[in-house]
Amino acid sequence: MPTATRQQELEWAQSIIRPEEIEKYLDSSGRDFIDDERIIRQLADARNPDPQRVRAILDKSRAMQTLEPEETATLLQVEDPDLLEEMRCTGLDIKLRAYDNRIVTFAPLYMSNHCINSCTYCGFRRENEEMHRVRLSPKEIRAETRSLAGTFGHKRLIVVYGEHPLSDIDYLEESINTVYDVRVPTRKGHANIRRVNVNAAPLDVASLRRLKQVGLGTFQVFQETYHHDTYRRVHGRKSLKSDYAWRLYCMHRAQDAEVDDVGIGVLFGLYDWKFEVMGLVSHARELEKTWRGIGPHTISFPRLEVAHNAPGARGGRYAVSDEDFLKLITVLRLSVPYTGMICTARETASVRNEAVNRGITQMDASTRIGLGSYSTRYDDQEEERQQFMLGDARSVDELVRDLARMGYITSFCTAGYRIGRTGERIMRLLRSCHEGDFCKLNAILTFREWLDDFASPATKAMGEELIQRELAAARFRTPKLHQKFSDYYERTINGTRDLYL
């Protein structure tokens, strides 16, 4: 079992942050783009919004334009039930135009729970001596990947690491390469992981370039909280993570490194949820302004969950109710209309099903967050190995069936980054509502693969009905691509795998 001494940890921590990769992005007064007081003022000024103004803002969302912070503040302050329902319907309509009825599925794979930080809300925090520390070896990563790809049929992972010298950039590279190398036989073809997204600590430009070379999908870093004082309070003053600006500008560095597919997020429950939504929208706008209109490809909005031996994870004054949680999903959908939105298995099945009708686009399934738990256990949670506790234990098979019942097709598509549909290109397609032209067809192809290779009889029966409806609609929606798509579909039925447009 590899280890690092405290001295090695400290020396490593001192080598990570590069001040020149923060300062170049700050404004002329040396400030970052989150102005706490202005956000609080904007929220106060927006109280009791005029319905006419709200409807004008909804028109702007329908036109797929990112909202100004003042406009987001106005939506956040709506309390009238009828207006809230108009907002929900508009958000869902936007989602269906941009993403159609697809829900992309994925699984998290925790690679290492060693961490030098002390986030009060996290089970992995350094002081938690009851946490069983694990860094997966190549052999263990192969076993995990075989289960994820060969048992559940996943094609897309988000790999997760604590911040520690044992999970440095060398380990990130090695572990991702190991995942990509695994190939598993299935009923009719073979399965493998085709897209690895990364959720890790902020990296410098040189390290991000290395991840790009390995074949990174989306690079995800959550700010956790945009409120400066709260950030300091929950991350301590001396930890590596305590540098707010190093984290905030991580996505600027990603773009500098030509990693142009990025995901941002907040851990809701650390501070006032309306403030955090304003922070997310401000971040999206800042990225668009700085990087040729390229905003976040995804936004995540996990809520604080109980975590083992983590005092800051207990529900406090900023706990977000289900009602507010669903409202914030709607407001985010309306404020950043083009973005993908991820709702994870932290949430219960009923909340996630409702979130689908609010415009989310991605969900995980068959989720296990204990290290090594995909290949060693399938039926329970082990709090000494995981970061927090889960709310939705549905398998991929159950999720696919539930979504099909609701009229949604589960997509296992991973074509985007492999075919160069990232950055400006994906943003243009999403804003013009043309992304679905390709992605719906790829969703059908990958759904066909998954039904043939992995579905239970009940799910297959339900999936067949859905896929027949989708095939009939595809003929009219994308006539120019139809010949090629039909050819790919037939080949997929006959066992060819990983065909995409």
Q: Classify strands 216-220 and 195-199 as parallel, antiparallel or unpaired.
A: parallel
- Of 108, 162, 337, 416, the residue at the interface with ligand SF4 (CB under 6 A) is 162
Q: Which residue has the tokens 């790919």?
A: 488
Q: Are 178 and 145 in contact (CB under 8 A)?
A: yes
Q: Which of 9, 163, 435, 470 binds ligand SF4 (CB under 6 A)?
A: 163
**Least CB distance to ligand SF4 at residue 162 (A):** 4
With respect to ligand SF4, which residue has the nearer C-beta, 9 or 402? 9
Closest CA to 219 of 161, 264, 157, 268: 264
Beta bridge partners of 303: 268
Tell me how far, at minimum, the Cβ of 164 lies from ligand SF4, in Å: 8
115 binds ligand SF4 (CB under 6 A): yes
In this chain, which stretch among 88-96, 113-121, 343-351, 419-427 interacts with ligand SF4, using CB under 6 A?
113-121
Q: How far is the CB of 281 from ligand SF4 (least distance, A)?
A: 23
Question: Quick one: DSSP state of residue 388?
Answer: S
Residue whose structure tokens are 């290779």: 453
125 binds ligand SF4 (CB under 6 A): yes
Give dist(CA 1, CA 22) in Å, integer.
Answer: 35
Closer CB to ligand SF4, 76 or 122, in the complex: 122
101 touches ligand SF4 by CB under 6 A: no
Compute the least distance from the CB of residue 137 to ligand SF4, in Å: 20
Stretch that binds ligand SF4, among 117-125, 290-298, 331-339, 404-412 (CB under 6 A): 117-125
Determine if 346 is a binding residue for ligand SF4 (CB under 6 A): no
Residue 246 found at the interface with ligand SF4 (CB under 6 A): no
Contact call for residue 122 and ligand SF4 (CB under 6 A):
yes
The answer to whether residue 124 forms part of the interface with ligand SF4 (CB under 6 A) is yes
Complex with ligand SF4: residue 111 or 441, whichever CB lies closer = 111
- The tokens for 487 are 């050819």
Position 156, amino acid: R
Interface with ligand SF4 (CB under 6 A), residue from 61, 112, 117, 178: 117
Q: What is the DSSP string of 438-491?
A: HHHHHHHHHHHHHHHHH--HHHHHHHHHHHHHHHHHHHHH-GGGHHHHHHHHHH
Write the interaction track for ligand SF4 spanning residues 76-95; mark x where CB under 6 A is met and - where it is not.
Answer: --------------------
- Residue 106 CB, nearest approach to ligand SF4 (Å): 19
Instruction: Work out whether 13 is an interface residue with ligand SF4 (CB under 6 A).
Output: no
Q: Determine whether 249 is exposed, middle or buried from the number of CB atoms within 10 Å of its CB (0-12, 13-18, 19+).
A: buried
371: closest CA among 384, 357, 381, 385? 385
Residue 241 interacts with ligand SF4 (CB under 6 A): yes or no = yes
- Closest approach of Cβ 425 to ligand SF4, in Å? 32
d(CA 455, CA 267): 34
Task: State the helix-helix crossing angle for 322-335 and 81-99, rounded to 10 degrees.
Answer: 50
Q: Does 427 bind ligand SF4 (CB under 6 A)?
A: no
Segment interacting with ligand SF4, rule: CB under 6 A, options 52-60, 86-94, 96-104, 118-126? 118-126
Give yes or no for residue 225 binding ligand SF4 (CB under 6 A): no
DSSP assignment of 149-166 equals IIIS---EEEEEE-SSGG
Helix (H) and strand (E) counts in the chain: 22, 11
Choose between 124 and 408: whose C-beta lies nearer to ligand SF4.
124
Q: SS3 sequence, 390-432?
A: CCCCCCHHHHHHHHHHCCCEEECCCHHHHCCCCHHHHHHHHHC
Binding site for ligand SF4 (CB under 6 A): 115, 117, 119, 122, 124-125, 162-163, 241
